[in-house]
């Protein structure tokens, strides 16, 4: 088996895991079982990040979504009265929800097919960054000019460098505002817990 076939098989398995987990969340009868299906879906998304050579995002997906958010949901469900009982609540809106979801996915498919994707297959940075031409650098705002000898060359830095540069330059204010909101939420949770 070649590497491309193995990659495609792994992608299909991860896609089925992600979509199966999402369907399990929707059709499960209890919130607890739905949270377990959500964990499966999150792990599938993390695996897709690994396939895309986005190791940082895969680690963040596992640590934050699987490790923190899902465990928080499970604790909230287990501590909620009657959350683990099998609830039979009729839902008459499933047909409208299915129709809207199909329309949304159809629209996303049309937009994705008609979009002019500017990146070539070799222009995505690997772990150490990749050298690109001046024409490709003009289309990519993350490209950094590196002077090698007399000729000016361009390179795309690795993902962690790009994320760090974005956090500490143009998104610094949003990063600090989010940290303040999380701090306020933490203080509010402590105040509510003491009452």
Q: Where are the domains of the chain?
A: 1-83
Can you give the pLDDT at residue 33?
Answer: 86
Asked if residues 53 and 66 have their Cβ atoms less than 8 Å apart, the reply is: no
pLDDT digits (tens, 9 = 90+) for 44-94: 999 999 998 888 888 888 888 888 888 777 777 776 655 555 555 566 777
Please state which CATH number belongs to domain 1-83.
1.20.120.1200
Specify the 3-state DSSP secondary structure of 88: coil
Structure tokens at 69: 């958010």
Q: How far is CA 190 from the centre of its chain?
A: 29
Tokens 């390179």 label which residue? 155
Residue 183 has pLDDT above 50, yes or no: yes
Q: How far is CA 5 from the centre of its chain?
A: 24
Model confidence pTM above 0.85:
no
Asked if residues 37 and 25 have their Cβ atoms less than 8 Å apart, the reply is: yes
- For residue 124, name the pLDDT band (cuts at 50, 70, 90): very low
Q: Tell which wins on pLDDT, 133 or 100.
A: 100
Helix H segments across the chain?
Answer: 3-27, 31-51, 55-60, 70-79, 94-114, 134-139, 159-168, 172-194
């Amino acid at each position: 088996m070649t590497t491309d076939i193995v990659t495609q098989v792994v992608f299909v398995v991860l896609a089925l895991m992600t979509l199966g987990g999402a369907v399990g969340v929707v059709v499960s009868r209890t919130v607890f079982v739905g949270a377990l299906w959500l964990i499966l879906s999150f792990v599938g998304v993390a695996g897709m990040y690994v396939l895309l050579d986005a190791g940082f995002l895969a680690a963040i997906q596992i640590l934050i979504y699987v490790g923190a958010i899902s465990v928080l949901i499970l604790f909230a469900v287990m501590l909620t009265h009657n959350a683990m009982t099998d609830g039979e609540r009729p839902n008459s809106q499933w047909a409208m929800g299915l129709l809207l979801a199909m329309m949304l996915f159809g629209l996303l498919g049309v937009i994705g097919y008609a979009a002019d994707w500017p990146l070539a297959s070799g222009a995505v940075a690997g772990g150490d960054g990749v050298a690109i031409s001046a024409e490709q650098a003009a289309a990519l705002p993350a490209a950094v000019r590196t002077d090698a000898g007399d000729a000016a060359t361009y390179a795309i830095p690795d993902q962690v460098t790009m994320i760090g540069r974005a956090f500490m330059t143009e998104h610094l204010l949003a990063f600090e505002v989010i940290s303040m909101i999380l701090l306020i939420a933490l203080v509010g949770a402590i105040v509510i817990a003491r009452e």
